[in-house]
Structure 1
Amino acid sequence: MNDCCVKGFKWDGQPQGHIETTSSGVSTYVVGSNPEAAILVIHDLFGWTFPNTRLLADAYAEGANATVYVPDFFGGEVLPSDILRKDPSEWGPLDLPGFTSRNSKEVREPEIFAFARDLRAKYQHVGAIGFCYGGWAVFRLGAKTSGRLVDCISTAHPSWLTKEEIENVDVPVQILAPEIDPVFTPELKDLCNRVIPSLGLDYDYQHFPALEHSFAVRGNKENEAELKGLVRAKNAAIYWFNQYLH
């Protein structure tokens, strides 16, 4: 992870969903009521309670006519949102390496897959979108070996994404990619743009010039360019899910 993964802005607005707890004890924000189509949102480092993520879930539920789920995949732990816009020297006792270690791929993948399996058993159509941390996870959910847990995936400025995960994807892929991103590097972008089309998959790669990592979920609405970008990213994801969930 990089400092860019924990910078940004908190948006105004009141999420409209409710909280459910699964039989396995996973707390989940849920919005929407479509009995046939669901969207799984895999959060960034600020976790399932982050208001921006929930507001985006509300927009997906309405715009894509789906029931949207934002589960807690950090076991009740979240990064404090008051570190947003702070210099790393002001983070105090924040242990980012320890946090990411406790929430590594190996630790969290089983529960992410279990949640997706539950959605697949309940809904005819399932999509997934991952922000930053969630990016690697949606690629794994859409892999050849996943058992077709999702019908399509979308990701904005993914983190921890590997060459193998890119090569193994097997469902339609959307990538919302800012120009400036030290995590989703130019090399990874180029790899995606070479490999995914060769797999015979529907592919939507959207470039956001001059914008930075985290813009789609933590962009500054007071900045005209960032506002335009985050709205475009939201609308692009809604269009993508409408294509594959209905």
Structure 2
Amino acid sequence: MSSCCLGGFKWDGQPQGQEATLNDQGYYVTGSNSDVALLVIHDLYGWTFPNIRLLADHFSAEVGATVYVPDFFGGEVLPADIINNPAEWAKLNLPEFMQRNSKDVRKPEVKAFAEFLRSRHRRVGAIGYCYGGWAVFQLGAARAGGQPLVDCISAAHPTFLEKEEIRGVGVPVQIIAPEHDPQFTEELKTYAVTEIPKLGVPFDYQFFPGLHHGFSVRGNRENKAETKGMERSMRAAVCWFKEWLAAV
């Protein structure tokens, strides 16, 4: 985990959804499609980060899904206002934060929420940003018998993703990959584009030259290149979910 997971920009806009709880776990929900759901798994700034909720609103409107952004940090939230203040980052104890929110700690919650969505909706997709990237790959893992936890996934500049998770995917998978990314490294990029086509699942690899880790959820709207990249990444994800969540 590095500074690339904290830097960026907070977007203007007012989220249109509402908050609810599931077994004391908070979540943001927007939309009213009882048939199709999209699970959005947040980055390091958590489920209250305005940008992630604005993205959820966008997906709800464009995909036509009910979109959920659960809290997978146990009620803990990094303050969004530190996003442009590196001096504040040094005050955070990220190793302890990540220990409290490790894969082993949060994986059961991620799985349980996906099962909740599967019980309520006919089609379920998942998209993960940064921290959420590893989680959607685990949700999209091939399962011996039975229905998969989700029907398709997208991962934008995933963090903590491992080769075993990449080669284990069993549903249509999209990767949104910036050129510069110390988390989704060149080695992992090469592994993904080499191994996933061998798995027999639909695969969409979206490459963004010149852009950096975190651009699709914390990009600078005043920077032309980042704005174009953000817009393209949103269009790509919308098209992906329209295709695979509308399938019978």
TM-score w.r.t. the length of structure 1 is 0.97
1:90: Cα distance to partner? 4.0
1:2: Cα distance to partner? 1.4
Deviations 1:176-199 (A, max 9, x none): 000000110000000000010111
Give the distance between the partners of 1:125 and 1:131, measured in 2 at CA. 21
Where does residue 212 of structure 2 map in the other structure?
Answer: 212
Give the distance between the partners of 1:26 and 1:235, measured in 2 at CA. 30
Deviations 1:195-215 (A, max 9, x none): 101111100000001000000
Tell me the amino acid that sits aligned with residue 65 of structure 1: G
Is the partner of 2:143 in helix, strand or coil? helix
Cα distance 1:195–1:33, how it changes in 2: closer, same or farther (>3 A)?
same
Is the partner of 2:84 in helix, strand or coil? coil
Where does residue 133 of structure 1 map in the other structure?
Answer: 131
Give the distance between the partners of 2:143 and 2:241, measured in 1 at CA. 22
Post-superposition, which runs of at least 4 consecutive aligned residues in structure 1 deviate over 3 A?
A: none
Where does residue 38 of structure 2 map in the other structure?
Answer: 39
1:84: Cα distance to partner? 1.1
Tell me the amino acid that sits aligned with residue 51 of structure 2: N
Deviations 1:145-188 (A, max 9, x none): 38501000001000000010001100000000000001100000
Is the partner of 1:164 in helix, strand or coil? helix
Tell whether 2:241 aligns with 1:234.
no
User: What count of residue pairs does the alignment treat as equivalent?
Assistant: 244
Give the aligned CA root-mean-square deviation in angstroms.
1.0
Give the distance between the partners of 1:162 and 1:206, measured in 2 at CA. 19
Give the distance between the partners of 1:161 and 1:192, measured in 2 at CA. 11
1:3: Cα distance to partner? 1.1
Where does residue 63 of structure 1 map in the other structure?
Answer: 62
Structure 2 stretches lacking a partner, 5+ long? none
Is the partner of 2:148 in helix, strand or coil? coil
Tell me the amino acid that sits aligned with residue 35 of structure 1: S
Q: State which drifts further: 78-87 or 45-54.
A: 78-87
Where does residue 152 of structure 1 map in the other structure?
Answer: 152
Where does residue 118 of structure 1 map in the other structure?
Answer: 116
Structure 1 stretches lacking a partner, 5+ long? none
Tell me the amino acid that sits aligned with residue 199 of structure 1: L
1:72: Cα distance to partner? 0.5
Give the distance between the partners of 2:234 and 2:55, measured in 1 at CA. 7
Is the partner of 1:145 in helix, strand or coil? coil
Give the distance between the partners of 2:139 and 2:116, measured in 1 at CA. 13
Where does residue 50 of structure 1 map in the other structure?
Answer: 49
Give the distance between the partners of 1:33 and 1:41, measured in 2 at CA. 16
Give the distance between the partners of 1:168 and 1:181, measured in 2 at CA. 22
Q: Quick one: percent identity of the two aligned structures?
A: 60
TM-score w.r.t. the length of structure 2 is 0.96
Give the distance between the partners of 1:164 and 1:34, measured in 2 at CA. 34
